[in-house]
A = this chain, B = another copy of it.
């Protein structure tokens, strides 16, 4: 009999949404969001961020800057004459943060630890700003390696699992390894799949494997180290594929787990840059890749336009 697959379970009811779950925060005189270079003493976070409704995360600072300017057009957002968008976190060179009306566009770097720092600080920021956690949505717009998919396909993650197929993120916390389940929202995913069709992007629902290492963690043959054969690799990826893994990246597990802890609605949309069942190296021309990387952005832009009632 096949092992029970927890990723097929209906997500348990989320707790009452709350950006933070930490009794210490209320007692702090001041909160310095160190890696965002913002704080509650020198920045009026309510004034700056209270209207935020959609937070869009992506790895690359350049891509998230471009997304912000793309959203200016998509939302018909009026920038004051003689002004432009600025990186709100320019005092730090860890992340970039742009705001276009109700949309935040923020870069998270690569890997779970880098995303995790940002998530903590963005969640605290939205809490300080007095946003309604039941009304805000989080999206990760990323890149990934696909399994058995035509490169350029967007995978909307049904569930995130780690490199051993476990559907939770482990955090070593004061000597205990705490497991945080990584559920995502089936209804939101269904809605996003419809939107992706309406903008003509090839999209699928599937499970996403999230690893801590890009080379050995994803069974690549082209890292500095490789202690397995091409056959080992092929068999591993095929077995993962057979269990519903559609793509592999490095942040979804943390993203889903932290969103689930808050009860904030969230989705992960990653375009596949190559089919890992075929190879490891990326050889697609730069301009084609650029267009692929815009696909999750196009889907989310259209989704947000619909929610805001913006039509052409």
Asked if A120 and B223 sit within 8 Å, CB to CB, the answer is yes
A241 interface residue (CB < 8 Å to B): no
A282 interface residue (CB < 8 Å to B): yes
Residue of B nearest to A25 (CB): B222
Bitwise, A252-294 to B at CB < 8 A (1) or not (0) is 0000001001100000000000000000011100000000000
A224 interface residue (CB < 8 Å to B): yes
Residues of the B chain whose Cβ atoms lie less than 8 Å from the Cβ of A236: 174-175
Cβ < 8 Å to B, chain A residues 158-206: 162-164, 171-175, 177-178
Task: Give the distance to chain B from A6, nearest Cβ to Cβ, in Å.
Answer: 17
Asked if A109 and B109 sit within 8 Å, CB to CB, the answer is yes
Asked if A228 and B110 sit within 8 Å, CB to CB, the answer is no
A interface residues, how many (CB within 8 angstroms): 71
Asked if B114 and A226 sit within 8 Å, CB to CB, the answer is no
Given A24-B222, A60-B94, A109-B110, do A228 and B173 touch, yes or no (CB 8 Å)? yes
A7 interface residue (CB < 8 Å to B): no
Please name 13 pairs of A and B residues whose Cβ atoms are closer than 8 Å in the assembled complex, sorted by A: A24-B230, A25-B222, A31-B222, A32-B281, A94-B110, A111-B113, A112-B113, A116-B212, A120-B223, A124-B224, A164-B172, A173-B217, A173-B219
Residue positions of A touching B, CB distance < 8 A: 19-25, 28, 30-32, 34-35, 59-63, 93-94, 109-114, 116-117, 119-121, 123-124, 127, 162-164, 171-175, 177-178, 211-217, 219, 221-228, 230, 232-233, 236, 250, 258, 261-262, 281-283
